[in-house]
Structures are given as C-alpha cells and as structure tokens.
Homo-oligomer: A and B are copies of this chain.
Amino acid sequence: MPQFLDTTAHEFEQAFLALLSAKREDSPDVDEVVAAIIADVRTRGDVAVIELTERFDRIALTPDGLRFSPSEVDEAIDRVPAAERQALELAAERIRAYHERQMPADDEWTDVTGATLGWRWSAVAAAGLYVPGGLASYPSSVLMNAVPAKVAGVGRLAIAVPTPDGVVNPLVLLAARLAGVDEIYRIGGAQAIAALAYGTESIAPVDKITGPGNAFVAAAKRRVFGKVGIDMIAGPSEILVIADKDNEPDWIALDLLSQAEHDESAQSILITDDADFGRAVADAVEARLQTLERREIAGASWRDFGAVIVVRDLDEAAVLSNRIAPEHLELCVADPDGLSRKTTHAGAIFLGQYTPEAIGDYVGGPNHVLPTARSARFSSGLSVMDFLKRTTVARMTPEALRAIGPSAETLARSESLEAHGLSVRARLDRLNG
C-alpha cells in the first residue's frame, strides 16, 4: 500500500516535504570508467569502439560493420507485423504534425532609429540519437527524438543502438526509417556517446546528442557536454493524477500503474478531494497488481513511492501540483481546462477521463520526453527547439549609429572597455566630420 496523506492532518506539510524530497534514484558513480572509455575512443577511434563493443555486447564488428547497411535495415523491417507497422506509422504522422506547428519564425524589423534588428533560426547540422538496447529499446522513443530533429531540418541524423549478442529490435529500425534517420550504428554505452561527440574513422562527429540511456550513457553525455550539445538527463518517470469521485477507480489505477511499471524508481501520485474515492483507487491498484505482467516492478514503485493525497478542494490540488511540478499531469475532473490553467508547472497535461497518459506516450502528438524530478519548474519537454539555434542580427545605418552610438560609448567607458568605446567613436567622428 502507498502512503495516504491528508491536507487537514497536522503533520501533512512535513509528510509532503518528505514525499517531494524522496531520493528515488541511486546513480552508481561510473564517472572514472566513463572518462577512460571516452579517452580511449578519442585516441584509438574505431579500434576502441570495436573492442568495447565486443566486451560489452559480445559481438565482433569490423569498421564497415559498425553501421547497419540499408539491406540489413530492410530485412529487419520486413519482419515487423502489419498491425505494428501501421501503429508506428500513425504515431510518426501525428508526432510530425504536432512538431511542425512548433517551428518558430524568423523576424526582422527596422526601428525608429533606422536600425534593422531581428533573428534567424537554423538547424543543428548533425545530431546523434542514443537508443538503449535490450528491455528499454523503445521504438516510440526513437520517433519522439528523431521526428523533431528532422522537422527542425537537421541535415544528418545518426542513431546509436547497441545490439547485445547481435539482437536488434526491428521496430526500432522501422521507427528510424519512418523518421528519416540517415545512419544507424550498432554501438552503445559510453563508447557510442564518445564516437558521436568526437568522431572516429567511420563515424563523423555530430553537434548535438539526445536520447535516454543508463548510468554510463548519462555520465558520458555530461562529460561531452560543451563539445556537443545534449538534452536533459532524464530521471525516473512520474505521474500525478488529480481526480474527483466521478471517475472509474480502475481507469485511474491503470494510469498510475502505467508509470509505476516503467521502473521501481518511478512515482505515481493521486490527488483527490474524496477520501473514499482515493481508497477505491488504491484497492483497484492492488487488484490489478495481482495479474499485471510487470507487477514486481510496478508493485515496488507503488509501495515505495506511490501516494494518495486527499485535499479539501481542487484549488488546493492545484497548489500541491505546482509544488510537485510533475512530468505528467492527468486532470480527471469536471472542468479540466479550468484546472489546467492553475497548474502551470508540469511537463505535459492530459485533460479529462478519456486522455490516459499512455496516449501521450505513443500517438497523441506531443513529445513524451519530458522534464522529471521537479525540473518542469524551469524546463520543457523535447521539441524542435532542441535541434534549432537562433542567430541574432543587427544592422546600423549611419543615422542609427548617430542616435544610439554615444550611449554605447558612455557605457563602454564606464566599464573601462576603451576599445569598445573607440570602435564607436572612430565611426562617429567620420560621420560628424
């Protein structure tokens, strides 16, 4: 059974703070190992990558074999059943449509002084996407990373996906194909991140690396950050469901379990204004846990980090939600739109009882790579913006320089930056003389 909290209880604030600060993840310290792997790949290139892949993934590769050939991809994709292919195609199409609307516009204007100002967006030239192998090899994550990159206009998109014992998930290759990925490498771990960041004889370096991974991958991403851009380092998944009593307890239970089944460190929280409903949901969770395939994982997550919080009213729920700043927020209440406008710190909001969070994981359209561990207070989910950068532009006319140049000169002198001031003054003297 999870924790039950009640905002009217004397000790609520203390219990809620404990829930907020619960350390759910113990990342092993692999930083030294990772540093050595990166140094090795930088020094020895392909040879290092091949040796490390043999050691960790138990497959012997040649430099030519690091990359999947088009016919290898074709062959794997042919094995995908029609229903799964169609589902993946629908998902790709909907994710593409959503992210196309995110593309920001360039701007340019002339102000009262005659100065032309603006900015231009351009795509990262080359990006790399890490895809975990084995159990957590999710084709949906390939789409969620690769589609925004291609919509943004990334010219060269490479995937690194380890194939332990040579096993590859055909759906991952199909998702890569549907998204328009240009290169797929059968490498993983810190060696894959190093190869993407620094390049080897067979793998050209990229400018940005995104995608989830284990502790080694996360540590490697942190280390190559600066040389290349990276996306956020994601923590265990979370969901907060705010539900009133007019819901089916079993549906809410399944929504809570669909986060809990990801990982023993995942966290599922229900906030309700009806204590009886809260107990009914908890009972429904227990019932589902009798038969769920991943009941050990989901059960551990629910027992260790799950919570049911009973509030006085939904305004109080909104306040708590903003303090939690959940990755996923499901609003199963009579007026979900109204409540959503009060819950500003959340990665993604799912409105109404017919929008289970799982829809957002696959086919809704919005991205499922979202800020965890309360970082929705200051960051956003993955989007086309992660694969774009903005260059500002400014052009002064002689008149504009006359109008604002003297102020620049004054400020430069006040900051003791003489050459800054002189670079303006030399031009003004010419214009005035």
Contacts and interface: CB of A to CB of B under 8 A. Distances in A.
A60 B319 CA distance: 39
A405 B348 CA distance: 18
Given A364-B117, A376-B391, A90 B407 contact: yes
B392 A349 contact: yes
Residue in A254, A255, A405 with the greatest tally of chain B CB atoms within 10 Å: A254
Interface string A232-263: 01000000000000001011001101101110
A24 interface: no
Given A116-B351, A351-B395, A397-B354, A140 B381 contact: no
Nearest to A378: B229
Residue in A107, A117, A260, A383 with the greatest tally of chain B CB atoms within 10 Å: A117
A262 B417 contact: yes
Interface string A409-422: 01110111111111
Interface of A: 83-84, 86-88, 90-91, 94, 97-98, 101-102, 104, 107, 109, 111, 115-117, 119-120, 122, 124-125, 135, 138-140, 171, 207-208, 226, 228-229, 233, 248, 250-251, 254-255, 257-258, 260-262, 288, 292-294, 298, 336-337, 340, 344-367, 371, 373, 375-381, 383, 385, 389-398, 400-401, 404-408, 410-412, 414-424, 426-427, 430
Given A84-B414, A380-B391, 7 more contacts: A94-B111, A117-B366, A122-B344, A248-B430, A254-B419, A348-B392, A363-B408
The quantity of this chain's copies bound in the complex is 2
A260 B423 CA distance: 13
A411 B87 contact: yes
Given A358-B420, A378-B389, A352 B415 contact: no
B394 A390 contact: no
A394 B423 contact: no
